Amino acid sequence: MEILGKVDFPPLAGSACEKGRFRLAFHAMGTECEILYGASSLKKANEFREASLSWVRRFEDRYSRYKPESLLSRINDSAGKEFVPIEEEDARLFDLCDSLHFRSKGVFDPSSLPLSLIWDFKSKNPAVPPQEAILQALNKVGWKKVVRDAGGVFLPEVGMGLDFGGFGKEYAVDRVVELAESMDVESILVNFGGDVRVMGSSPDGEPWRVGVENPKQPGKPQFVLGLKDQAVATSGNYRRFFEHAGKVYGHVLDHRTGFPCSGDCLSSTVVSRSCLEAGVLATCSLLEFKEDGLRMLEGFFGAEGCVSTTSGLNWSKKFSEFVLANE
């Protein structure tokens, strides 16, 4: 487990304790993670630090498809062979997948691993797969094919596979915030690779300021949001892509077509009550293009979004209420 070994954590020194503000930075789930939080004492700060690191470590060990002993790896390796036993928390996670698949009208689908494997955007030389390979992968995709009973999960066809990478970070962000609430942490900002959720106000008593990257100028903010007891997530194709025969292929795949999402959408940002909901909606609205994507948000109470296209910004009705500064 690399979550602890490669990180030089800043000590929780007396000066930090006097201010009651603490910062925790580490690497997990393939990304950089940061937690800013307030605590009434150094003891409480340390307790929360250890509890949050322990939870993230357990979560990654159990649900990363890159870890051979994880639950997800065992389920995928057993495809077409046998049921794999699951525990109560696993069942809750699968229930969430059921709900999000239904509410997104099937756009959200964690069974799309076969497509991810043939496109392989992490390769040094990614390429467009042959049409036959795409069709074969599509035949292995389908959340409704996943079989569950009271104590296990079964993928009925060899070659099927689950990947929680599309929502795992967001789910982890929510759980860390819930952990903070249970441990009387006074306020918190959790940022796992740009997926953010806040509880309470920032140290100055104002809403937390969260910058959203400009897809046309990566590294620079497109706008700054003011958040309190909310989450924000962004999905985009502008950082991970390749070009072939004059066409750009982004890494966000549409399991309905077998190809990356097309159109002029560059990124989608969603503010919602939970980071999981924000992240799933951001990806789904990117896949559904700007008009259908924004309409999808209407079915999720409290969710507002902004789709950035080559021609400009498209906001839902109340998204502007969160914008403090527009670059």
Residues 214 and 264 in one domain: yes
Q: Where are the beta strands (DSSP E) in 81-156?
A: 84-85, 147-149, 152-154
Q: Could you give the count of Cα atoms lying within 13 Å of 31 in the half-sphere of its Cβ?
A: 18
Residues 150 and 180 in one domain: no
For the chain, the domain total comes to: 3
CA angle 64, 68, 71 (to 5 degrees): 55
* Six token digits for residue 32: 């950089």
- pLDDT (tens digit per residue) in 157-170: 999 999 998 899 99
Residues 176 and 267 in one domain: no
Q: Which of 209, 309, 300, 207 is nearest to 318 (CA)?
A: 300
- pLDDT (tens digit per residue) in 93-107: 999 999 999 988 899
Residues 100 and 180 in one domain: no
What size, in residues, is the chain? 327
Locate all alpha helices (DSSP H) within 163-308, ordered by sequence: 168-182, 275-287, 289-297
Residues 241 and 278 in one domain: yes
Residues 140 and 264 in one domain: no
Q: Where are the beta strands (DSSP E) in 98-169?
A: 147-149, 152-154
Q: Alpha-carbon torsion 260, 302, 97, 74, what sign?
A: positive
Residues 141 and 237 in one domain: no
In a domain, 160, yes or no: no
- pLDDT (tens digit per residue) in 297-318: 776 778 999 988 888 888 888 9
Q: Is the model's pLDDT at 18 over the cut of 80?
A: no
Residues 33 and 51 in one domain: yes
In a domain, 242, yes or no: yes
Q: Mean pLDDT across the chain, nearest whole number?
A: 88
- The domain in which residue 255 lies consists of 207-327
- pLDDT (tens digit per residue) in 231-255: 999 998 877 888 888 888 888 899 9
Residues 299 and 272 in one domain: yes
For the chain, first and last CA: distance in Å?
40
Residues 59 and 93 in one domain: no
Residues 1 and 122 in one domain: no
In a domain, 326, yes or no: yes
Residues 274 and 187 in one domain: no
Mean pLDDT of 197-208: 92
- CATH number for the domain that contains residue 256: 3.10.520.10
What does pTM read for this prediction? 0.89
Q: Which of 275, 287, 281 is nearest to 316 (CA)?
A: 281
Spell out the residues 6+ positions from residue 201 whose beta carbon is closer than 8 angstroms to its own: 187, 207, 208, 228
- pLDDT (tens digit per residue) in 51-100: 999 999 999 999 999 999 999 999 999 999 999 999 999 999 999 999 99
- CATH number for the domain that contains residue 143: 1.10.3980.10
